[in-house]
Copies of this chain bind each other. A is one copy, B any other.
Amino acid sequence: MSAKGYLLKEADLLPLSIGAALLGTGGGGNPYIGMLRTRELMRKGAEVRVVPLDALPDDAWIGEVGGIGAPVVGVEKVEEGGECYRAMRAVEEAAGVKMSALISAEIGGANSLEPIIAAAMAGLPVVDGDGMGRAFPEVQMTTFFIYGAKAAPAAIADDKGNVVVFRDMVDMFWLERFARDVSVGMGAGAGLAIAPMSMEFVRRTAVPDTVTQALRIGQTVLDARAKRQNVVERVVATTGAKLFFTGKVTDVRRELTGGFARGHAHLAGIDAWAGSEARIAIQNENLVLWIDGEPVIMVPDLIVNLELETGEPITTEILRYGQRIAVIGLPVHDLMKTPKALEIVGPKAFGYPDLTFRPLAAGPIAA
């Protein structure tokens, strides 16, 4: 990668969305619609440059954007496309600044594409990085907020022309609460933009290089498919992931409450895991994996379900009875594992007071 990054090509969009879906750990929404929108914008001449964290000066303003809402809804309620763009413009106006580049709240799932779409509309570059290195269900669960980003002004926009500005917020938890409530009123699919961050702050706090990482993972999947190799094995071999379980989905319980898809999936082991049982807790994303009652992977580390035959990442909203899946685990970036970060994204923050985070063995998660 050059110091100035690279132009995103149309051919990058499919692998990027596959890699993003995998890093979505079951959540973050399906990037497919966003991929089509980005392609449409590119075919109309829009160019989006992916720039590394050291490409812009310290005082450049960076806008973090992302869709907000339950991914289950996203399957049926398609975004209009300009939601994040309009929210970002409202933040610019409220803050009295102009953004120099955009960055993703979360690289996992549909939000990998949201800043790219907004950047294509605004003629801005996107920063190669994000606020999670994965996907998480709540607004405050980014490295940006964990390490002190301002909670206001932020803004949310829907597909109909409604724009709500969070002008003064006591803290990021209040922002999450109000943004969540408004997003539910907006039909649980809306674009959120947070307060401008300086490039200097983003450089210190973003999970680096994750756009490129998602792209590489997707290219590995496509290459393995083209060569008729076992995709799960290739992904495990090239990402530093570990295969934890293979099984058949025997039960999925999922309900949409307070704007979230919450539930559990149960798996009966097959092949090397025949006779074992696994359970995965879900809040939009996969939170905890238990095998035979033992917690073996937990947030913030990544729990990824891949379809056994095709290696296709299975998002929680399409998880269903009878699917045969491989469950792989990937260690999350170190910025997500500090004591400060674990307060926000560790198992206790997700309502598991008895679980103390035990990290997976560290290692590079992309080739």
Chain A interface residues toward B at CB < 8 A: 90, 94, 155, 157, 160-170, 174, 177-178, 181-182, 184-185
Contacts and interface: CB of A to CB of B under 8 A. Distances in A.
A165 B164 CA distance: 6
A281 B29 CA distance: 43
Given A181-B184, A185-B177, A166 B164 contact: yes
A299 B174 CA distance: 37
Contacts of A178: 162, 164, 182, 185
A75 to B, nearest CB: 23
Contacts of A170: 160-162
Contacts of A164: 164-167, 178
A168 B93 CA distance: 13
Contacts of A94: 165
Contacts of A185: 177-178, 181
A154 B166 CA distance: 12
Contacts of A162: 166, 168-170, 174, 178
9 contacts: A90-B168, A162-B166, A162-B169, A162-B170, A162-B174, A164-B166, A178-B182, A181-B181, A181-B184
Contacts of A155: 167
Contacts of A174: 160, 162
A362 B23 CA distance: 68
A161 B168 CA distance: 7
Nearest to A93: B167
A352 B164 CA distance: 32
Q: Is the interface of A mostly helix, strand, loop or mixed?
A: mixed
A90 to B, nearest CB: 6
A257 to B, nearest CB: 15
B163 A168 contact: yes
A184 B184 CA distance: 13
A249 to B, nearest CB: 35
A184 to B, nearest CB: 7
A252 to B, nearest CB: 29
A303 to B, nearest CB: 30
Nearest to A153: B165
A358 B250 CA distance: 60
A94 B169 CA distance: 16
Nearest to A157: B168
A178 B164 CA distance: 9
A3 B178 CA distance: 44
Given A164-B167, A178-B182, A182-B182, 12 more contacts: A90-B167, A90-B168, A160-B170, A163-B167, A163-B168, A164-B164, A164-B166, A164-B178, A165-B167, A177-B185, A181-B181, A181-B184
A272 to B, nearest CB: 48
Contacts of A184: 181
A167 to B, nearest CB: 5
A328 to B, nearest CB: 38
A181 B156 CA distance: 14
Contacts of A161: 168, 170
Nearest to A165: B165
A163 B157 CA distance: 17
